[in-house]
Amino acid sequence: MQRHLISAADLTRDDAVLILDTAEEMARVADRPIKKLPTLRGRTVVNLFFEDSTRTRISFEAAEKRLSADVINFTAKGSSVSKGESLKDTAQTLEAMGVDAVVIRHGASGAPYRLANSGWIDAAVINAGDGTHQHPTQALLDAFTMRRRLIGRDAGIGQDLDGKRITLVGDILHSRVARSNVDLLHTLGAEVTLVAPPTLVPVGVESWPCEVSYDLDSTLSKSDAVMLLRVQRERMNAAFFPTEREYSRRYGLDGDRMAKMPEHAIVMHPGPMVRGMEITAEVADSERCTAIEQVANGVSIRMAVLYLLLGGNEPAVSHARTNEEK
């Protein structure tokens, strides 16, 4: 039985709904005077970050501590000469110290998969973002945010996102958030549309369970949620788009565009936001923008994942796809 969370594509609909429902209960702990549960007492979790990501690390760390796990933070900047050796050696060193789970962030796509499947270690592996591959807890917290806003906190329990129309805008090509969201949202029954300049859509996207559009304006009125992905300014230099100004004009979300969205529709952003590029300050600071909520929800989702993977004698999440391969 799989004990890892590597890809959002590994989750079945029931797994995903269980995680969202569990997170809803975890969220209530945040409202209590003592924001702590004894559930993972005596379990050790290491946050193994080969890439700087203070936001994600702090979110995991908060989740781990609220569940009373012992937390080790390991920020390793991969050496250019032998990154491979250092991943394997570092993981084995940590395991020798008695680690029950490894939360890993790595710049190389597939590094968490390798860690979980190469026989290097026995600990459970949770992917906190790998290269341009996957970031499954981000997709889960996004889905959680959508369910709360579009269905309701209590009304959402046990529900998926059947029929919800979600639009992802921005650098799809380099985005692990996009990949994870397409997989998970599809599993949860949502209809996903990707919007980007053609240069930032991967060759091979035709096999993804979603629509692709190059025109933002035509999708806005048909969206229950619009998620903006960060666009790095450096992409200009590699000719992915001509200028920041042209990108903003064609794909940035401003007040006028937001007004074209249905009244109930929300604006999402995984952060950190590049204001003035993909989103204007007006939109970012509006009631409809869930960026701050997403951060709070991230802790609840990560608590749920940690509890469901480590809280018992075996994980409660089935990982249908991986099991089929075995």
- Work out how close the CB of 138 gets to other proteins at its nearest, in angstroms, rounded to a whole number: 14
- Pairing state between β 225-228 and 211-213: unpaired
Stretch that binds other proteins, among 142-150, 200-208, 228-236, 267-275 (CB under 8 A): 200-208
- Work out how close the CB of 217 gets to other proteins at its nearest, in angstroms, rounded to a whole number: 26
Stretch that binds other proteins, among 222-230, 248-256, 270-278, 307-315 (CB under 8 A): 307-315
Contacts of residue 271, Cβ cutoff 8 Å, sequence gap at least 6: 55, 230, 291, 294, 295
Per-residue binding letters, 149-188, with other proteins (x by CB under 8 A): ---------------------------x--x---------
Bond preceding residue 209 cis, omega within 30 of 0: no
Is residue 134 close enough to count as binding other proteins by CB under 8 A? yes
Q: Which of 88, 91, 138, 130 is nearest to 113 (CA)?
A: 130
Scanning residues 63 to 92, which ones bind other proteins (CB under 8 A)? 67, 82-85, 87-88
Stretch that binds other proteins, among 36-44, 185-193, 224-232, 287-295 (CB under 8 A): 36-44
- Work out how close the CB of 246 gets to other proteins at its nearest, in angstroms, rounded to a whole number: 23
| Phi/psi of residue 318, nearest 5 degrees | -85, -25
- Work out how close the CB of 21 gets to other proteins at its nearest, in angstroms, rounded to a whole number: 7
The one-letter code for the residue type at 116 is A
Helix (H, G, I), strand (E, B) or coil at 192: strand
Rounded distance between C-alpha atoms, residue 57 and residue 31, angstroms: 22
Is residue 30 close enough to count as binding other proteins by CB under 8 A? no
Q: Which of 122, 124, 141, 134 is nearest to 59 (CA)?
A: 141
Rounded distance between C-alpha atoms, residue 309 and residue 317, angstroms: 7
Q: Would you list which residues are annotated within the binding site for carbamoyl phosphate? A: 55-56, 105, 135, 138, 271-272
C-alpha torsion sign, points 14, 168, 170, 278? negative
- Work out how close the CB of 291 gets to other proteins at its nearest, in angstroms, rounded to a whole number: 24
Residues in contact with other proteins by CB under 8 A are 18, 21-22, 25-26, 28, 32-34, 36-39, 67, 82-85, 87-88, 106-111, 113-114, 117-118, 130-134, 176, 179, 202-208, 307-308, 311-316
